[in-house]
A and B are shown apart, each in its own frame.
Chain A
């Protein structure tokens, strides 16, 4: 069963909910609570697990699309909204174990933008694991500044994996080697590395993959996809719990396909239109008092063992 929804949809009322596919013997219940989509674990009898139990376990946060250096009308102060997002994370009752930043740290890949971003992101309460966005590879060296800063100990153009609390995290890079007229790609070298990396990971291990550009086809006319992502996804299908986290489109869109949940996060800088809702995907101007309802972060909660992850999106 496949289901797509965006929390921007006007059609979903607050009390509507959707039951999605089985997930390693359990299931996921997607519900809109106060307008925020939440995923709750279901046990074998189809009952909702105690969400408080989820809260007592490991959780991590996804933050995305800071665009430090952007200064146009859609948000003249992306540094301020990033600081607000960080303030929200610092105010969590339980400190996250780690933070994932899914790219577009900067707007124009300037050294000064990277410096400013690093200074502010340094106030987060946990280690941050990065992937670059295409805005982070605009320097003369085509990503050299990003890799000098964040590429230590990584392979190729910055891909890597690590384990934390029994979850296997994989950082994939799809913002190098752009060819005009062709979608973003992971490339043969990275796909080969991914196959090698997964060969040591058991199928009962929860896997979290994070990359900047969506690893599923959201809207091809705007290039919101990755050309060879299907090859990576096919390697992940045998795993019991796979969560794929992307940025790039500055809005929440989710899809559940078998054991794989695809999720894009809001950015902290400026909103972008829903797929096809505007002539182009350029920054969307909203009234200043509404801007923060379009920006936000994603909290990802897991429980120990072979259980689904719960994704909780919240706005600033």
Chain B
């Protein structure tokens, strides 16, 4: 019985993963990107939402993407079309850092 339940759970997780595969959300809270590290298949759209009372930005270290200042509850999206590792931060708060790992489908 336990084994069946386990398999059932994994099945659910797989369904869950495929349903979310083309879109992911990162929240900004207390000057942190949550999650700070995210692995996604190529073609995924990532949306960052600022939950702080202070504006933040999303800036790729190679300047591939660069958001305007996001006020509270504002968001910014970028779709990753090339596999690789992307380091990004907030240009207003140098200690904030995150990365996105984009894998082949």
Contacts and interface: CB of A to CB of B under 8 A. Distances in A.
Interface residues of B, number: 24
Interface string B2-44: 0000000000000000000000000000111000000000000
B89 A181 contact: yes
Given A74-B53, A180-B94, A182-B94, A281 B61 contact: no
A221 B95 contact: yes
Interface of B: 30-32, 52-55, 59, 61, 68-69, 71-72, 87-97
Contact of A180 (B54, B71, B97): B97
Interface stretch (A38-46, A134-142, A302-310): A134-142
Contacts of B68: 138, 140
Contacts of A34: none
Contacts of B91: 178-180
Contacts of A134: 92
Bin chain A's interface residue count: 20 to 34
**Which 3 A-B pairs give the minimum distances between C-beta atoms?**
A180-B89, A178-B91, A138-B69
A279 B59 CA distance: 22
Given A282-B30, A282-B31, 5 more contacts: A140-B68, A179-B94, A182-B94, A222-B95, A223-B95
B54 A108 contact: no
Interface of B is mostly: loop
A178 B58 CA distance: 12
A283 interface: yes
Interface string A201-221: 000000000000000000011
A283 B93 contact: no
A72 B30 contact: no
Interface of A: 72-74, 107-109, 134-135, 138, 140, 178-184, 220-223, 279-283
Nearest to B29: A280
Given A109-B69, A180-B89, A283 B94 contact: no
Nearest to A221: B95
A182 B94 CA distance: 5
A178 B53 CA distance: 20
Nearest to A133: B92
Contact of A138 (B55, B61, B89): B55
Given A280-B30, A282-B30, A282-B31, A180 B61 contact: yes
23 contacts: A73-B53, A107-B55, A108-B55, A109-B69, A134-B92, A135-B55, A138-B55, A138-B92, A178-B59, A178-B91, A179-B94, A180-B88, A180-B89, A180-B90, A180-B97, A181-B89, A181-B97, A183-B94, A221-B95, A222-B31, A223-B95, A280-B52, A283-B54
